[in-house]
Amino acid sequence: MAHKVLSSDMAELINAMKMAQKYSTTTLDQEYRKGMLSAAHVLAVDAKHLFDVVDAARKQSAKLSSSV
């Protein structure tokens, strides 16, 4: 599940970056840069959530191992 979410977020970021490059010399440059930054932010937040879940599972596993 997380892999699919991060994969689609990365694809969206790549598309946004391509569009930002394509329109970098036009008056729409700032709008496409904002879109790229927004896509990067979504990817970063989702990656942070995944990290938090994995870290919590690791801590829970360590806690269970030490009590056995």
Instruction: Taking the CA atoms of 12, 14, 20 and 22 in sequence, report the sign of the dihedral they define.
Output: negative
pLDDT band for position 2 (50/70/90)?
confident
> Which tokens hold the place of 2?
């997380």
CATH of the domain at 25: 1.20.120.330
Is the pLDDT confidence value at 1 over 90?
Answer: no
pLDDT band for position 68 (50/70/90)?
low
> What range defines the domain where residue 59 resides?
2-67
**pLDDT of the residue at 24:** 95
What is the pLDDT of the chain when averaged over all its residues? 93
Number of domains in the chain: 1
pTM of the model: 0.84
Q: Identify residue 37 by its one-letter amino acid code.
A: L
